[in-house]
Structure 1
Amino acid sequence: MAIPKNGLVIGAITVAVALLATYLVPFTDILLEKAAQLGLTVPDAFQPPPAVYDTGRDIKYIGSLSNEVEHFQNIFYAEEPTGARRFAPPVPVRPPKGTVIDATHPGAWCPQGTGDILPFTSRVSNISENCLSLRIARPTGLKDERLPVVVWLHGGGHALGSASEILYNPDGLVKEAVVAGQPLIYVGINYRLGYFGFATSEAMIENKQTNAGLRDQRAALEWVRDNIEAFGGDPNRVTAIGQSVGASDIGLHLTSFGGTKGVPFQQAIMMSGAPGLNFNSDPALVADNTANVAKEVGCDTNDAQSLETLECLRRIPFETLTNISVTASRAARPPFGEGFFYPTIDGDILPARSSELLRAGKFVQNVPIIASWVTNDGAWYAAPPTSTDEEVLGSFGLWLSKLSDSTNEKLLELYPAADFEHMAGNGPISPQYYRAAQLNRDIWFTCPVLDFTWQYVQKGGVDASKVWLYEHNATRYGPSFEMMGVPMWRVAHLSDIPYVMNNDNLGGGADNSPEQMELARLVSRRVIGFAHDGQPGEEWPAAFSGAGEEWSESPGRLSIQVFGGPVPGAVTVSKDAKDAKHATVAQQAVLWEKLFERCEFINSAQMRAEAGV
Structure 2
Amino acid sequence: MLFILSTLSTFFALCYLSTPTQCSPTCAGAFPTVNLGYAVHVPTSVNKTSAGLRYANYNNIRFAAPPVGKLRFRKPAAPLKQDGIQNGSAPPFSTDCVSAIPSFFPDLGISTRSWGQEDCLFLNVRVPEGVKQGDNVPVLHFVHGSGYVYGSKDFEGVAPDGTGLYEKMSPSSQKFIYVASNYRMGLFGWSSSPSEDMDTNIGLHDTKAALDWTRKYISNFGGDPDRITAMGTSAGAAMIDLLLVAKGGHEVLPFSQAFISSPGIWPRRDPVRQQAVFDEVLRAANCTSVACLRGAPQEVLFKANSFLITDVGDGSTGALGPLTGFTPVVDGKYIKDLPTALLARGSYNRKVRRVVVGNMANEGMGMSLDVGMPDAFPALVRKTIPYADDDTIKRIQSMYEYPANLPQKLSWDWGTDMSFACNAYFTAKAYKNKAQRYVMTIPPATHGLDQSYFLFNSNASTPVADITLAREFQEYVRRFVTSERNQEDYPDLADWPKYGPGETSFNITLGGFEVQKDYWDVNRRCQVLNDIFSDRKNGA
CA RMSD of aligned residues (A): 3.1
Give 1:440's match in structure 2, choosing from 403, 411, 415. 415
2:95 corresponds to which residue?
108
2:284 corresponds to which residue?
296
Q: How does 1:202-601 map to 2 (within 5 A)?
A: 202-204=194-196, 207=197, 209-273=199-263, 278-300=266-288, 309-334=289-314, 337=320, 339-367=324-352, 368-383=354-369, 386-418=371-403, 430-454=405-429, 456-457=430-431, 464-474=432-442, 490-507=444-461, 511=463, 516-533=466-483, 539-546=495-502, 558-566=503-511, 568-572=513-517, 590=519, 595-601=522-528
Greater fraction helix: 1
- CA apart distance, 1:431: 0.8
Cα gap change, 1:292/1:600 in structure 2, threshold over 3 Å: closer, same or farther? closer
CA–CA distance in structure 2, aligned partners of residues 327 and 156 of structure 1: 17
Q: Is the 8 A contact 2:141 2:229 kept in 1?
A: yes
CA–CA distance in structure 2, aligned partners of residues 333 and 57 of structure 1: 41
Cα gap change, 1:146/1:256 in structure 2, threshold over 3 Å: closer, same or farther? same
Cα gap change, 1:122/1:451 in structure 2, threshold over 3 Å: closer, same or farther? farther
Q: How does 1:80-159 map to 2 (within 5 A)?
A: 80-95=66-81, 99-105=84-90, 107-113=94-100, 126-144=115-133, 145-159=135-149
Q: Deviations over 1:13-51 (max 9, x none)?
A: xxxxxxxxx99x5xx6xxxxxxxxxxxxxxxxx666954
Q: What SS is found at the alignment partner of 1:202? A: coil
Of 49-58 and 66-75, more deviation after overlay is shown by 49-58
Cα gap change, 1:530/1:608 in structure 2, threshold over 3 Å: closer, same or farther? farther
1:188 corresponds to which residue?
180
CA–CA distance in structure 1, aligned partners of residues 426 and 59 of structure 2: 36
Q: Is the 8 A contact 1:49 1:64 kept in 2?
A: no
One-letter identity of the residue aligned with 2:61: I
Q: Is the 8 A contact 1:539 1:570 kept in 2?
A: no
Q: Is the 8 A contact 1:51 1:63 kept in 2?
A: no
Cα gap change, 1:286/1:607 in structure 2, threshold over 3 Å: closer, same or farther? closer
Cα gap change, 1:393/1:122 in structure 2, threshold over 3 Å: closer, same or farther? farther
Cα gap change, 1:88/1:253 in structure 2, threshold over 3 Å: closer, same or farther? same
Q: Deviations over 1:300-328 (max 9, x none)?
A: 3xxxxxxxx21111111222212223322
Q: Is the 8 A contact 2:98 2:302 kept in 1?
A: yes
Q: Deviations over 1:118-169 (max 9, x none)?
A: 6777666650000011111222232342211111111122112211111421
Q: Is the 8 A contact 1:138 1:186 kept in 2?
A: yes
Q: What SS is found at the alignment partner of 2:449? A: coil
Q: Is the 8 A contact 1:331 1:337 kept in 2?
A: no
One-letter identity of the residue aligned with 2:440: H
One-letter identity of the residue aligned with 2:414: L
Aligned: 1:604 with 2:534: no
Q: Deviations over 1:60-104 (max 9, x none)?
A: 3332113443212111111111110101111111425x7422223
Q: Is the 8 A contact 1:62 1:72 kept in 2?
A: yes
Cα gap change, 1:119/1:517 in structure 2, threshold over 3 Å: closer, same or farther? farther
Q: Deviations over 1:339-384 (max 9, x none)?
A: 4122223343223443444345333212121111102111112346
One-letter identity of the residue aligned with 1:283: P
Q: Deviations over 1:547-583 (max 9, x none)?
A: xxxxxxxxxxx2110122457411136xxxxxxxxxx
- CA apart distance, 1:223: 0.6
Q: What SS is found at the alignment partner of 1:150? A: strand
Unaligned ranges ≥5, structure 2: 1-22, 49-53, 487-492
Larger-Rg structure? 1
Q: What SS is found at the alignment partner of 2:46? A: strand
- CA apart distance, 1:203: 4.3
Identity of aligned residues (%): 24
Cα gap change, 1:298/1:572 in structure 2, threshold over 3 Å: closer, same or farther? closer
Q: What SS is found at the alignment partner of 2:255? A: coil
Q: Is the 8 A contact 1:200 1:283 kept in 2?
A: no
Aligned length: 494
One-letter identity of the residue aligned with 2:525: R
Q: Which has the higher contact order (CA 8 A, sep 6+)?
A: 2
One-letter identity of the residue aligned with 1:320: V
Q: Is the 8 A contact 2:364 2:447 kept in 1?
A: yes
Cα gap change, 1:353/1:500 in structure 2, threshold over 3 Å: closer, same or farther? same
TM-score, with length taken from structure 2: 0.82
Unaligned ranges ≥5, structure 1: 1-21, 29-45, 301-308, 422-429, 458-463, 476-489, 547-557, 574-589
Q: What SS is found at the alignment partner of 1:110? A: coil
1:484 corresponds to which residue?
none
- CA apart distance, 1:471: 0.4
